[in-house]
A and B are shown apart, each in its own frame.
Chain A
């Protein structure tokens, strides 16, 4: 589904990704771990097409398309969803309005009719219910005044509504309380487990991986993948640290 080949990228002229390669097949869950500043969020932003993240080498194929040639909104319509480490607040723009327009923009690309107001509200209620997220909060402006954990949960509701093929979730677990962690973990499974879907989880801790069991775990350090393994690698890392395991 996603093939990243030898990807290099700079931020503010500073090389951050330095020849990163990674292959994710449909139906797989991958986890990326790695020290602070290793380039994990940079990988997510580069794949999402954030301005300022300049690709200096390599290629990314997403379902047969050259992902890097697409605009951010086209990447979304192709089925990519980026969960932000720090979700952005947008004053005055309601979650429901924004998500309905975003979903309908994606549907338009696929030649589908826009979802009616009623059908959209039904979908939003279902997805909010799955994440035990208050519908009233979805009427409020995007992320404004949400607590850290509420922002992360709101993003999972967004993911449920937009139903992507590939979700890159950047520290979705940070800021979540114990119950919210379980609810989000189960939400990720409900939304993203499937033969034609895949997930790339960026995380620092095993705790989310207890709920969303990864098929592969990778260590990202110094802008490239330095070690890959199965679910047990995360446990080793937690026990022994990066220096011992990935040196």
Chain B
């Protein structure tokens, strides 16, 4: 959590951070969210401003609580979102995030999901689209405490590079101290399928439109099932315009 001293690159969670951009924002106020036992809640965060933004969230899910968190990290400067979720027995945490960056921007999403009790479920889907010399990072730890049997945790992390000069860092991490848990992560960094692009163009779509269509589909994966998935995807599309 936030301490008073500005972190350094030696802090794992800040390894790829833009520390110069972070300094004026420091120390960060932690936004705390508590979801009562059995309750359901949701939050969508859209970062689309011209100024640097850094957010820190601490979400506590009591037994049987559900929380749906969606993030669009698509501002025009440094953008960092760090989320710690602490899951009670049978809790369910769904996290979907898209980040879109260009220029020399640094964007990062840092998560730590703590399965402290049995039978909680966590789902994380992160989609990054990076152009120019942008850097997009996902650092995500899933921690399963001793005794948190029946844990079900999944991380699906994908990044699409629009240029060879863009950088994606993706590090899903599992820290498991319990038996009988189901944890999976998938992680891929790639480029738009040139065959798909040619196929769309061969039907009359200009290259930028063809790319937009494919990226739209890619980003939408982060917002599937969200209460306001349409609005989020639309906002993401508007952000894409600047990248193509």
A and B bound?
yes
Q: Which of B54-62, B183-191, B198-206 contacts its partner?
A: B198-206
Contact yes or no, B206 A105, CB < 8 A: yes
Q: Point out the residues of chain A lying under 8 angstroms from B213, CB to CB.
A: 93, 97-98, 101
Q: Are B217 and A91 within 8 A (Cβ)?
A: yes
Please report whether the interface of chain B is mostly helix, strand, loop or mixed according to DSSP: helix
| Interface flag for B221 (CB, 8 Å) | yes
Partner of A102, one of B196, B204, B216, B218: B204
Q: Which residues of B contact A106 (CB under 8 A)?
A: 204
User: Considering only CB atoms and an 8 Å cut-off, how many residues of chain A contact the other chain?
Assistant: 33
- Residue contact A71 to B207, C-beta cutoff 8 Å: yes
The answer for the CA separation of A109 and B198 in the assembled complex, in Å, is 19
Contacts of B205 in A (CB 8 A): 73, 98, 101-102, 105
Known: A71-B207, A88-B195, A105-B209. A82 touches B202 (CB 8 A): yes
Task: Count residues of chain B with CB under 8 A from any CB of chain A.
Answer: 23
Shortest beta-carbon distance from B208 to chain A in Å: 10
Chain A proximity of B35: nearest CB distance (Å) = 31
- Give residues 52-98 of A contacting B (CB, 8 Å): 71-73, 75-77, 81-82, 84, 87-93, 97-98
The reply to whether the CB of B194 lies closer than 8 angstroms to some CB of chain A is: yes
Return chain A residues, CB-CB under 8 Å to B206.
Answer: 71, 73, 105
* Nearest-neighbor residue (CB-CB) of A99 within chain B: B203
Instruction: Answer whether residue B100 sits at the interface, using C-beta atoms and an 8 A cutoff.
Output: no
Can you identify 12 A-B contacts, CB atoms within 8 angstroms?
A51-B198, A72-B202, A73-B203, A73-B206, A73-B210, A84-B199, A88-B193, A89-B196, A92-B217, A92-B218, A93-B213, A142-B199
Given contacts A73-B206, A87-B199, 4 further A-B contacts (CB under 8 A): A98-B200, A101-B205, A102-B205, A105-B205
7 residue pairs, one from A and one from B, having the closest CB atoms: A92-B217, A76-B204, A102-B203, A88-B199, A72-B201, A106-B204, A102-B204
